[in-house]
Chains A and B, each alone.
Chain A
Amino acid sequence: MAWHEIAGAAALGEDEAMGVTLGDRPVALCRSGGVFYALHNVCTHQFALLSDGYVEHACIECPLHQGRFDLKTGAPLCAPVTEPVRVYRVKVEDGKVFVELDP
């Protein structure tokens, strides 16, 4: 287990997402309702970066086909997505945002 600090995360606005690469893993960091969420950045339906999508009410919507995922659990919320997307733990310390990746 390792916590990775996300540079520039503090500048992320409400209902915004940013894409980062941690190790070789694409991760979307999102902020909604004042809370940070992290999830695997690739849609489980077809290749698209979720961080290019639309964030609202703790959900993220894929920019390609508007499939929606729950930011807390990664659960698919509507067609065409049926597979959950991986989520990662996030913590905020001293104004810095960290994402935990499993080994």
Chain B
Amino acid sequence: MIVGAGQAGGRAAEALRAAGFKGEILLLGDERHEPYERPRLSKSMLLGEEPAAAATIHPREWYAGHGVALRTRMRVEAIAPKSRAVMTADGQRLEYSTLLLCTGSRVRPLAGAPEGLAGVHYLRTLEDCQRLGARLRQGQRMVVIGGGFIGLEVASSALKRGLDVTVVERQDALLDRVLPPAIASRVASMHAAHGVSVRLGVPVERIRGNGAVQCVELADGAELPADVVVIGIGIIPNTELAEAAGAASSDGLVVDEYCRTTLDNVYAAGDVTNHYNPILQRRVRLESWQNAQNQAIAAARNIAGAAQPYAEVPWFWSDQLGSNIQMVGVTEPAMQIVWRGERLAFGLVDARLRLAVGFDAGADIRFARRLIESRAQIPSDRLADPAAKLKDLLSEVACSASTP
């Protein structure tokens, strides 16, 4: 039984069948759609450039054709781990032999934001995307609250629509949770160069309006007129269901590298987990397309009998302002930042590569991923030298690693 029919749930069902799982698969989701992916919702789909179906992982008939009982609009309210059953909101008791939780995450609400004020939006679901998309067609001035990837991608889309856009971030840098400030500042410059007004280091005081939003007041007294406000201040992992059943939780549901929670026969994958990454040798909670898909596949394979740890270097992309930004690895405190030209930045700890961020530099990012996996010490002057090919650096590192 898979609870949660988002990207992770859908991919898990698919991977169970691909791994030869012969049992029944029940896939329960509280949204009304079959599993879909969210990256487009802040970009092409928000601008109406693609139909909703483009985000769908498989059409509905695929599930029936592969022996997957997909039940949408079905909310699970409780898990009884001892009797191996779940209770649904409509009063059913459904038994499982193995449970996989792909309950994902929800938007973090902005404290004090007024309820029911037209023009104030969050972005998480297909419906959110359609509502915001419609608003963008009428709007002229947008304020984005939160300088994370979602906010910045929405800013980029609104700019494409011709709106005046301001991004407000309470921290002193954009992308504060995910990138070192020295790298995030390049993203801020990109936005400024495209005409986005970026206000850093200032919290929002309140959102004002009368029926519809009119203005965002900042703590420094500034008033930003707006007819569209988008709040993108992060997500909260949906851990409560499993916590109530006794599963350990610490910034996400605690799972091991085999995607097992602390409850017997209960696995978890995707946004909801906090998992041990053997390559990084630390625990991580990831909010990414890669993790939603690949951790779900890993969980499915383990459920089907493989004993394969989930071990990948975290990777993320964002398309905004006509650029493709990719990051691989993780941001650590006090990293040494090394730029290689203007399109590629590295973060090192003890001369070991832990993070690479590329601006339209996809192939380089791929080599950087391998360099991170190698865990080798790399001279920073070589990384900084655009004439030293990353590919050659990788072979040097591989050679020195194999030398006794």
Instruction: Decide if B293 is an interface residue (CB 8 Å cutoff).
Output: yes
Main secondary structure of the interface of A (DSSP, over half): loop
CB of A63 within 8 A of CB of B315, answer no
CB of A63 within 8 A of CB of B293, answer no
Closest to B362 in A: A63
- Residues of A near B317 (CB, < 8 A) are 64-65
Count A/B pairs, Cβ under 8 Å: 31
B residues 311-329 near A (Cβ < 8 Å) are 315, 317, 319, 324
B residues 125-139 near A (Cβ < 8 Å) are none
Tally of B interface residues using CB under 8 Å: 14
CB of A52 within 8 A of CB of B363, answer yes
Q: Please, what's the 1-or-0 string for A50-66, where 1 marks a CB less than 8 Å from any CB in chain B?
A: 00111000000111111
Given the contacts A64-B317, A66-B315, A79-B293, A54 and B366 also touching, CB distance less than 8 Å: yes
**Which of the residues A48, A61, A79, A80 comes within 8 Å of B366, measured between beta carbons?**
A61
CB of B362 within 8 A of CB of A52, answer yes
A residues 1-44 near B (Cβ < 8 Å) are 15
A88 to B315 CA separation, bound complex (whole angstroms): 32
How many Å from the CB of A56 to the closest CB on chain B? 9
How many Å from the CB of B224 to the closest CB on chain A? 33
A39 to B317 CA separation, bound complex (whole angstroms): 25
Closest to B7 in A: A79
B residues 275-299 near A (Cβ < 8 Å) are 289, 293
Tally of A interface residues using CB under 8 Å: 13
CB of A66 within 8 A of CB of B366, answer yes
A66 to B319 CA separation, bound complex (whole angstroms): 14
How many Å from the CB of A64 to the closest CB on chain B? 5
- Residues of B near A48 (CB, < 8 A) are 324, 362
A80 to B293 CA separation, bound complex (whole angstroms): 10
- Residues of B near A53 (CB, < 8 A) are 362-363, 366
**Which of the residues B37, B289, B315, B324 comes within 8 Å of A64, measured between beta carbons?**
B324
- Residues of A near B96 (CB, < 8 A) are none
Instruction: Decide if B367 is an interface residue (CB 8 Å cutoff).
Output: yes
Closest to B361 in A: A63
A52 to B362 CA separation, bound complex (whole angstroms): 7
Closest to B57 in A: A79
A65 to B325 CA separation, bound complex (whole angstroms): 10
How many Å from the CB of B77 to the closest CB on chain A? 31
A52 to B343 CA separation, bound complex (whole angstroms): 14
How many Å from the CB of B167 to the closest CB on chain A? 24
A48 to B366 CA separation, bound complex (whole angstroms): 15
- Residues of A near B293 (CB, < 8 A) are 79
A46 to B162 CA separation, bound complex (whole angstroms): 23
B residues 292-309 near A (Cβ < 8 Å) are 293
A52 to B363 CA separation, bound complex (whole angstroms): 6
A62 to B317 CA separation, bound complex (whole angstroms): 13
**Which of the residues B37, B315, B319, B324 comes within 8 Å of A80, measured between beta carbons?**
B37
How many Å from the CB of A85 to the closest CB on chain B? 16
- Residues of A near B319 (CB, < 8 A) are 64
How many Å from the CB of A60 to the closest CB on chain B? 10
A59 to B11 CA separation, bound complex (whole angstroms): 22
Given contacts A63-B366, A64-B324, A66-B362, 20 further A-B contacts (CB under 8 A): A48-B324, A52-B362, A52-B363, A53-B362, A53-B363, A54-B362, A54-B363, A54-B366, A61-B366, A62-B362, A63-B324, A63-B362, A63-B363, A64-B362, A65-B317, A66-B315, A66-B366, A79-B11, A79-B293, A80-B289
13 interchain pairs, CB-CB under 8 A:
A15-B391, A52-B363, A53-B366, A61-B366, A63-B324, A63-B362, A63-B366, A64-B319, A64-B362, A65-B317, A66-B315, A66-B366, A79-B11
Q: Which 4 A-B pairs have the closest CB atoms?
A: A63-B362, A54-B366, A54-B363, A63-B363
